A and B are shown apart, each in its own frame.
Chain A
Amino acid sequence: MLDVQFYGVLQQVAGTRSLQVDLKDDDITVDQVLTQLRQDVPALSAHLPRVACAQGESLVRRSDAVDPRQPLVLLPPVSGGRGPGQWRNT
């Protein structure tokens, strides 16, 4: 089982801070986990294209293999404020 953790608005959408995903095998990619999540929690589907994933201190890409020993963390768009070039509007 892989522990999947949610942050920000994803906690509201999923209705939980974390859930367990049953891995078919240990050699699985981030993208495959997200595909399974779409089936388990359909409400997440609309958010996933703008979601980044991390394990430990680092971001992981969709094609990366998941380390089943540590949680896969789903990070929605970060909302520190407006980005460069827009700062005069904040």
Chain B
Amino acid sequence: MQRITEAPLDVNTLLAETENDTCGAFVVFGGVVRNHHQGRGVAGMSYTAYGPMAEKVLEELEQETIQRFGVAECRIMHRIGKLEIGEASVLVAVRSAHRADSFEAGQYAIDTLKERLPVWKEDFYTDGSSGYQDGVPLETSEATETERGGRGHE
């Protein structure tokens, strides 16, 4: 299955792929393109990804989430390309026997994705300008390793 896609994301497809009769709960997080960023009007966005690594990061994050929270299912999909306001850029679906595990696992998955997934967002503003959003340096950047070294091993 492809986790990084240019095709529109569909919640029902994700739910069908994760059907599991042992589960009494599912939680779906959807990230959606909004019409503003830091006080500026946004007309649309473009997402780019480093594909070979992005697919691997999502696959590993799904497995990590399942093992860490004991949930039965975790599926993540991220869209790339040009998106309009209101379109979903990311979906996370989690299923578990009880709802608490799904809530916690879903939040962990999306928060961790934002630290690890090599995806970049370029805003197209309503005034005609555009710009990449700043983000989180990945773990092998000099800045991250220096910070980690300064804190010592925690």
A contact set with B: CB distance below 8 Å: 7-9, 12, 48-54, 56-62, 73, 75-84, 87
Contacts and interface: CB of A to CB of B under 8 A. Distances in A.
B90 interface: yes
B141 A79 contact: no
Interface string B40-73: 0000000010101101100000000000000000
Given A7-B120, A50-B143, A57-B53, A78 B136 contact: yes
Contacts of B116: 78
Nearest to B121: A79
Contacts, number: 109
B127 to A, nearest CB: 18
Given A78-B135, A79-B132, A87-B107, A51 B141 contact: yes
Given A51-B141, A78-B135, A80-B121, 15 more contacts: A7-B48, A7-B50, A7-B118, A7-B120, A49-B141, A52-B140, A57-B55, A58-B53, A61-B140, A62-B145, A76-B120, A77-B137, A79-B132, A83-B114, A84-B114
Query: Is chain B's binding surface mostly helix, strand, loop or mixed?
Result: mixed
B31 interface: yes
B90 A80 contact: yes
- Give the size range of B's interface with the partner: 35 or more
A12 B56 CA distance: 26
24 contacts: A9-B132, A48-B142, A49-B142, A50-B143, A52-B140, A57-B52, A59-B53, A59-B138, A62-B145, A75-B118, A75-B138, A77-B137, A78-B114, A78-B115, A78-B116, A78-B120, A78-B135, A79-B132, A79-B133, A79-B136, A80-B113, A80-B115, A81-B31, A83-B111
